[in-house]
Amino acid sequence: MAKQPQPISPLKNFFAGGFGGVCLVFVGHPLDTIKVRLQTQPKPQPGQAPLYSGTFDCFRKTLVGEGVQGLYRGMAAPIIGVTPMFAVCFFGFGLGKRLQQRKPDDVLTYPQLFAAGMLSGVFTTVIMAPGERIKCLLQIQAATGETKYSGSLDCAKQLYREAGIRGVYKGTVLTLMRDVPASGMYFMTYEWLKNILTPEGKSVSDLSVPRILFAGGLAGIFNWAVAIPPDVLKSRFQTAPAGKYPNGFRDVLRELIREEGVASLYKGFTAVMIRAFPANAACFLGFEIAMKFLNWVAPGL
């Protein structure tokens, strides 16, 4: 295993992680919109065709009906949240590695990297849960033809007015169930791929852009392979009317399995996988570029 770089400063994490997150949202949001609409579309009545027959049908109908801006519906919430979220995410990963090191130069095993990644998932949930709730509601309202929220801030205000902070943070447990194991897989896979792609005698910090893109994109694929089932449950639960699922995700799971089968837990799979590679490749490339820039302009920061 190639030697790992030492944990970076929280301030550098903030700027580099935030820039990587902005890159991820900008590249990946259109397919995230498609994913959420596929996951939350109502079950068709007998004899009726579903609202969307698949990923490409949803993409076409969204583009025709709402234009390019329809694909970026609800992007303000994740954009606002990505800078602190990815700062906390990468900081959590660095902290998780540091806590497991007996000495500063210890090289961690892959299970230890997985555990460090899971800690980052815990850290990001505080920011991720309300952002996901607002994003999902804005993404589906255009498809229903009802305009209840004028934007992210208006959505947050209405949720708080209707149910307090609990309404804003609805779906937090499911966000944890999605992000903790998925983040472990995400960071472990990225570190593993960086190590195997590093030429003999070279440092992981010298990886070329294509190799960083490949490692980041494939890490995104592995991340979502773990995250899709809880993500489907989360999207359903966060966009459901108040009181529909009194027992939380268990009610959502029972309803989905009973009415649509196990395959329903993988709704939006195609959209997720098409999005995962370019979005996460952009994220890690943005992070690495920003980190190199910060190390150059402020090496002692």
Contact 189, 218 (CB under 8 A): yes
Give CA separation, 126 vs 21, 90, 109, 172, 173, in Å: 16, 15, 28, 8, 11
Q: Is residue 1 part of a domain?
A: no
Mean pLDDT calculated for residue range 89-104: 84
Q: Where residue 212 falls among pLDDT bands split at 50, 70, 90?
A: very high
Phi, psi values for residue 117, rounded to 5°: -65, -40
Q: To the nearest whole percent, how much of the chain has pLDDT over 70? A: 95
Contact 97, 112 (CB under 8 A): yes
Mean pLDDT calculated for residue range 131-160: 84
Q: Is residue 5 part of a domain?
A: no
Contact 185, 223 (CB under 8 A): yes
Show the tokens assigned to 190.
């990225």
pLDDT digits (tens, 9 = 90+) for 154-185: 999 999 999 899 999 999 999 999 999 999 99
pLDDT score of 264: 87
pLDDT of 7 higher than 50: no
Q: Is residue 301 part of a domain?
A: no
pLDDT digits (tens, 9 = 90+) for 244-258: 888 888 999 999 999
Q: Which domain holds residue 182?
A: 10-43+50-296
pLDDT score of 32: 81
Q: To the nearest whole percent, how much of the chain has pLDDT over 90? A: 35
CATH number at residue 56: 1.50.40.10
pLDDT of 147 higher than 90: no
Q: What's the pTM value of the predicted model, to 2 decimals?
A: 0.78
pLDDT score of 143: 64
Show the tokens assigned to 126.
């505080």
Q: Is residue 92 part of a domain?
A: yes
Q: Is residue 162 part of a domain?
A: yes
For residues 281 and 100, the model is more confident at: 281
Q: Is residue 217 part of a domain?
A: yes
Give CA separation, 293 vs 44, 90, 234, 280, 299, in Å: 52, 17, 37, 20, 9
Q: Is residue 269 part of a domain?
A: yes
For residues 2 and 176, the model is more confident at: 176
What's the chain's average pLDDT?
86
Q: Is residue 83 part of a domain?
A: yes
Number of folded domains in the chain? 1
pLDDT of 299 higher than 60: yes
pLDDT digits (tens, 9 = 90+) for 26-80: 888 888 888 888 878 877 878 788 888 888 898 898 888 888 888 887 787 777 7
